[in-house]
Structure 1
């Protein structure tokens, strides 16, 4: 069996409930292009190291280690499935899975978006809306505000449909909540987050446009192109957004929350599996954060 046939089988029969179909299809497309015709029994560590190198420069862009790892993980999962499959004569399709190369992945996000940068960011988006009416900059604006307000991940936001917005009475007042459903989150556990008044005010328009679809109907390629435009416009205003990603909105909100609220509450908002993860990733302090403490000790 070659790699293409295995990936096709997995996509049709094993990965039908995959969380991110778009990412999966991209991974499969690149793997097929690079090693699709090769026999899975002939794959070995050295060949996989060369594949990792090819993935790094695929399409003329340099991919990050985490991106390469995700694509290799797709192949690794497929080969694991192959070890459980048999040929028509009862013989195993693959006796053993080869050893895969490892990567040092640094997922710690340090960059936060300042209040001044946020002002310019939304001005940039508003300007784009005027000059590019063919792009849905209105819902893009709403997406960025939603990411900041809920501290959710981009993938989680893209899986929110109108039916995932819940209205409840809390202490005598009506409040809206967004429900990030089971298996759509990184921990594969459901999470419920209250919505700010700003987001609630946007809901009628978002629901009307969504119809029977998601609130934010963007593809990965659409979001990449729009964020690239935002980076260029922010650079013209003197802001270096080269290291700012969609995930930076999450880090910005959680970092601010860490300075004002108990760790347990921030961890609940983040949806982390443990408080320790929250403390490790978002509990860092800058020198400026220590000024008030040092002044108090010296008094």
Structure 2
């Protein structure tokens, strides 16, 4: 079986329920362009290592290691499915999946958005909403608030549909939760996060606009253009947002949570595979964090 045939089969029969179809289609397109006509049983570590390098330079601009990894993950998932498939004579389509190259991806960042910057950020978005009524800055504002409130990743937020919002009674009080479905998260495990009153107040409008679609129907290129406009506006106000990305909202919320709550709770909110990951990424302390402790010891 050719790689192209396997990816087509998976797209039609195995991955139909995935929300992030635009990203998936891009991954498949790039894989087909580079190895679509190769036999799946001829793939091996050395060939995949070469493919990783080709994927890094394929396209109009170089891809980051995380982007290359996502494309290889698509191929890896397809090959896993191939090992479960059989031919007409009952023999396996693929006996064993080859070993894939590993990536050292540094997602750790120190930049945290301050409360002052958050206030300025929403002022900038409000100004854009007035200046550009044709662009959906209202839902963009809601998206940024949602990211800060839930500490979710951008991709996770874009896959939230109205049906993923659930109302429960907790200690006699009605609370709303968002369900990040299995395979839409980085760990491939579902995660449930309670929503703040601010986000709950936005739900009626978001649901009405969403209809039968996602709450935040933004394409990647649209988000890139809107974020660039925001960063330019923040710079005009004297704020350096050159190192601030969408993922910085997650880092900001989890860093603040680490200062107030047990690491086990923060890890649950983050959706990390282990507490050790949370400790490694958010357990760092600054000198300012030690002031109260030192004063207490000296007293």
TM-score if structure 1 supplies the norm length?
0.86
Q: Residue 249 of structure 1: CA displacement?
A: 1.0
- Specify every segment of 5 or more residues in structure 1 that has no aligned partner in the other structure, as ranges: none
User: Which structure 2 residues correspond to residues 47-196 of structure 1 after superposition, within 5 A?
Assistant: 47-88=47-88, 93-94=93-94, 96-171=96-171, 173-196=173-196
User: Which residue does the alignment assign to 2:294?
Assistant: 294
Aligned counterparts of 1:209 and 1:189: Cα–Cα separation in 2: 28
Aligned counterparts of 2:212 and 2:81: Cα–Cα separation in 1: 35
Deviations 1:147-191 (A, max 9, x none): 111222223322323333334454555433333344444444444
Report if the CA contact (8 A) 1:19-1:183 is conserved. Answer: no
- Report the more deviating stretch, 151-160 or 40-49: 40-49
Are residues 132 and 105 of structure 1, via their aligned partners in 2, closer, same or farther at CA, if it must alter by over 3 Å? Answer: same
Tell me whether 1:282 sits opposite 2:282 in the alignment: yes
Aligned counterparts of 2:255 and 2:269: Cα–Cα separation in 1: 12
Are residues 182 and 28 of structure 1, via their aligned partners in 2, closer, same or farther at CA, if it must alter by over 3 Å? Answer: closer
Say which SS state the counterpart of residue 264 (structure 1) adopts: helix
Aligned counterparts of 1:6 and 1:170: Cα–Cα separation in 2: 46
Q: Residue 206 of structure 1: CA displacement?
A: 1.3
TM-score if structure 2 supplies the norm length?
0.86
Q: Residue 54 of structure 1: CA displacement?
A: 2.1
User: Which residue does the alignment assign to 1:232?
Assistant: 232
Aligned counterparts of 1:171 and 1:41: Cα–Cα separation in 2: 56
RMSD: 2.7
Deviations 1:127-165 (A, max 9, x none): 222333232111010010011112222233223233333
Say which SS state the counterpart of residue 120 (structure 2) adopts: helix
Q: Residue 16 of structure 1: CA displacement?
A: 2.7
Q: Residue 33 of structure 1: CA displacement?
A: 1.9
Equivalenced residue count is 299
User: Which structure 2 residues correspond to residues 24-63 of structure 1 after superposition, within 5 A?
Assistant: 24-63=24-63
Report if the CA contact (8 A) 2:154-2:247 is conserved. Answer: yes
Say which SS state the counterpart of residue 166 (structure 1) adopts: strand
Deviations 1:210-261 (A, max 9, x none): 2232221222332233223323333333433333222221111111011122
Aligned counterparts of 2:189 and 2:46: Cα–Cα separation in 1: 37
Aligned counterparts of 2:182 and 2:79: Cα–Cα separation in 1: 27
Aligned counterparts of 2:200 and 2:11: Cα–Cα separation in 1: 38
